[in-house]
Amino acid sequence: MALIVQKFGGSSVANMERVRNVARIITETYKKGNSVVVVLSAQGDTTDDLIAKAEELNPHASKREMDMLLSTGEQISIALCAMTIEGMGYQVVSLTGWQAGMNTDSAYGNARIKRINTERIQTELDKNKIVLVAGFQGINKYGDITTLGRGGSDTSAVALAAALHADLCQIYTDVDGVYTADPRTVQGARKLEEITFDEMLELASLGAQVLHNRSVEMAKRYNVNLEVLSSFTGNPGTKVKEVVKTMEKTHVSGVAKDKNVARLALIGLADEPGTAFKIFSLLAKKKINVDIILQSIGREETKDISFTVARGDAEEAKRILEENRDYIGFKSIEMNTQVAKVSIVGAGMVNNFGVASRMFEALSNAGVNINMISTSEIKVSVLVDERDADRAVQAVHDKFFSEFGGNN
Amino acid sequence: MALIVQKFGGSSVANMERVRNVARIITETYKKGNSVVVVLSAQGDTTDDLIAKAEELNPHASKREMDMLLSTGEQISIALCAMTIEGMGYQVVSLTGWQAGMNTDSAYGNARIKRINTERIQTELDKNKIVLVAGFQGINKYGDITTLGRGGSDTSAVALAAALHADLCQIYTDVDGVYTADPRTVQGARKLEEITFDEMLELASLGAQVLHNRSVEMAKRYNVNLEVLSSFTGNPGTKVKEVVKTMEKTHVSGVAKDKNVARLALIGLADEPGTAFKIFSLLAKKKINVDIILQSIGREETKDISFTVARGDAEEAKRILEENRDYIGFKSIEMNTQVAKVSIVGAGMVNNFGVASRMFEALSNAGVNINMISTSEIKVSVLVDERDADRAVQAVHDKFFSEFGGNN
């Protein structure tokens, strides 16, 4: 008998029929002799509807009251799902975040789980009950309700799986696994049977939003066996593990596209030590994350530095740098928000430079111009014009995953 | 500086504009230098909508899960209202039932408040914050959410007022006080400035559903100063007290009508001791409440017993009695569900038999036939045909409250 934690996202419980479907999946798992703890998100658009109401009444509401409001969404989900499971003749109990012992810090709206007191859940499991837990929420030391921010329910599930030493944590979503590229836009995208935590992290940060990074990081840290699968199809999903079977040989797991990116370039910097430090410490102070950084030698003993930031941060980054033009010392600043990042991810890539060159070959053949290049242990990213992004992804995916060109 | 508990019902917070209106009333009370604790109900139809969802998924859901579901309605109200008050520039905090220390027994769906731990509320009041509390809900000794059943938010407010030793408990609703009769159907109905707890209890039980009996009983027990007033008009309301100024002289406070009544008559009972006991103990065992009882001598050493029950209980009461015909010993049973109870309520009535006779005179002049009569310390009730009920109420009201016939 295994202990399995399952998580169902908002689209999986969006209406009555889907709640019944989720109840079926849960009870089938239970019927096989497993102990089952389930984390649920709020139904479909519930959270957005509540946010809209709040903004109408006060666009600058405190995060404490926002969390009080939003936490009701998951509470409604667990109660409705529990009733459905009761109606099917099973013993079940629903628990809010605070009832389930989800202790967090006090960062309302973006709280971190500090400790899970699993006593109540254990007691209910000992009574052979199916336990439903409201995702996305917890309680702080003042006894106030907190929410975990984006991807919070995934994090709740992984944290519970870690605290309960669960054998498996299944993340049910509206896609049936992790694909080699976005199957909605890339022809021939294939589902992966397995992927490593690190690859998953790179894919998630590159815009393949299957699992939120926080949950994957936590799963890696506590070595939680993750599986991503669909609540609609019943197909086997993708397993996310520390080490996968195909680890030995170089492989590319997927191709991802990220449009939430903008490129800034500082032209004509003095070619002397400390320039980069000045630039990036100014941005760090304003909590602006910088992704790819490229430094090139310019003419007449100057240099240029280009870097990418999230698109929403671009204007502010530009303003900060312009305000400090004298301190940094540069001639001009350029901004381009019409760019996209295309990346391939795969363990062992660093040991096989042929992978990067095959990617560049594919892009060259497709007539896609590369603005910037960045490589890491397990990924190669290129910055391209936004209008070329979809074509670039397809070309690269064809190169690695088509029947003739694939290496997997 | 006074401590005031205010309660706003579902219609008072039904939409965004009304939430803003409630926020204005609360902050005006606060601005006058008062400490303010506010109890809120769920918005408008929220509770009904949640019940409908639950019934679609499982018509026999456990009450524990139903309470988990329904308690979200009040939580949404307090969060939205708190945000609105924040937006007006005041310090405010919202608290769920469990955060506010509302400890109840475990009768899910109809829980009783056992104890209120006011520590958290006191702490927030000491910080000069306006405190909003989710009505209708509490927590039991297992740490599970309970709801208080019908009229629960009124009860929450009165219980908090008692526990906090509040100077006043204001119940805001969609009527602006307690009237001498239902102002929607009776011409000349007047608002009362004051009324005693006992009169209020009689009026409530007679169908004038302004305040739920549980809350009035609790207010009487703990001597909480109650005021019923409208959140829409800003008019002074009706004060509910132990003793009112006009107590000295006989007065009629109001005329009420109750259509939720049916009459059963057992004909031809043996005229011997124990018959009434047999009948009413059988009904009591099935938790059927009996209201008016009338016993009359029949012919040939038999007697008849008539009584009234709630209309929904009539069929079951008839069935129980028929099943026990031999044990009780009666000839026939009659049932009439087309009846209504019309009552006048007023302290000191028992000492002035003229009151009852004036009521009968009014009914006689209006051509209304009386089926049964019942009197108590502070009320006189008559059972009439349902089709005569509205005319009966108007006639009686005219008698006591018209400019020419009134005694108040």
Residue A234's SS3 state is coil
Instruction: State the pLDDT at residue A84.
Output: 98
Q: pLDDT digit string (tens) for B350-376? A: 566 577 778 888 898 898 888 888 877
Contact B16 A66 (CB under 8 A): no
Q: Which of A53, A69, A86 sits opposite B61 (nearest CB)?
A: A86
Sheet with B130-134, edge to edge strand ranges: B92-95, B130-134, B35-40, B3-8, B168-173, B226-230, B238-241, B194-196
Give the contacts of A333 (CB within 8 A, at least 6 positions apart): A264, A265, A266, A267, A318, A321, A322
How far is B61 from chain A, CA to nearest CA, in Å? 5
**Chain A residues within an 8 Å CB radius of B58:** 83-84, 86-87
Nearest residue in chain A measured CA to CA from B82: A65
Distance CA A359, CA A340 (A): 16
Tell the burial category of B278 from Cβ atoms under 10 Å away from its Cβ (0-12, 13-18, 19+): middle
Q: How many residues are given for chain A?
A: 408
Distance CA B268, CA B51 (A): 46
Residue A193's SS3 state is coil
Contact A84 B56 (CB under 8 A): no
**Chain A residues within an 8 Å CB radius of B72:** 72, 75-76, 79
Complex confidence, ipTM: 0.78
How far is B100 from chain A, CA to nearest CA, in Å? 10
Contact A72 B72 (CB under 8 A): yes
Contact B16 A75 (CB under 8 A): no
**Which is more confident, A351 or B312?**
B312
pTM of the model: 0.79
> Which of B15, B18, B68, B131 would you mutate first to test chain A, the one with the most A CBs within 10 A?
B68
Instruction: Examine the pLDDT at A390 and tell me if it is beyond 80.
Output: yes
Distance CA A2, CA A166 (A): 8
Residues of chain A with pLDDT > 90, as a percent, come to 58
Q: pLDDT digit string (tens) for A176-200? A: 888 888 888 888 888 888 888 888 8
**Number of C-alpha atoms within 13 angstroms, CB side, residue A174?**
11
**CB-based burial, B113-143: b 16+ in 10 Å, e otherwise:** beebebebbeebbeeebbbbbbbbbbbbeee
Residue B384's alpha-carbon distances to A277, A297, B390, in angstroms, are 92, 102, 10
Say which DSSP state A231 is in: T
Residue B14's SS3 state is coil
Residue B85 pLDDT level (bands cut at 50, 70, 90): very high
Give the contacts of B1 (CB within 8 A, at least 6 positions apart): B33, B34, B35
Say which DSSP state A369 is in: P
Q: pLDDT digit string (tens) for A196-239? A: 888 888 877 666 667 888 888 899 999 999 999 988 888 889 99
Q: Which of A20, A62, A86 sits opposite B65 (nearest CB)?
A: A86
How far is B92 from chain A, CA to nearest CA, in Å? 10
Give the contacts of A88 (CB within 8 A, at least 6 positions apart): A23, A24, A27
**Across residues A124-151, what is the average pLDDT?**
95
Amino acid at A13: V
Q: Strand pairing partners for B157? A: none
Residue B276 pLDDT level (bands cut at 50, 70, 90): confident
Q: Which of A315, A155, A292, A133 is nearest to A221 (CA)?
A: A155
CB B158 within 8 A of CB B221: no
Q: Strand pairing partners for B258? A: B341
Amino acid at B97: G
Per CB distance under 8 Å, which residues of B are interface residues toward A?
Answer: 16, 19-20, 50, 53-54, 56-58, 60-62, 64-66, 68-69, 71-72, 75-76, 78-80, 82-84, 86-87, 93-94, 96, 99, 120, 143-145
Pick the range with the lowest mean pLDDT from A89-93, A217-221, A350-354.
Answer: A350-354
Q: What are phi and psi of B389, to 5 degrees?
A: -60, -50
Residue A300 pLDDT level (bands cut at 50, 70, 90): low
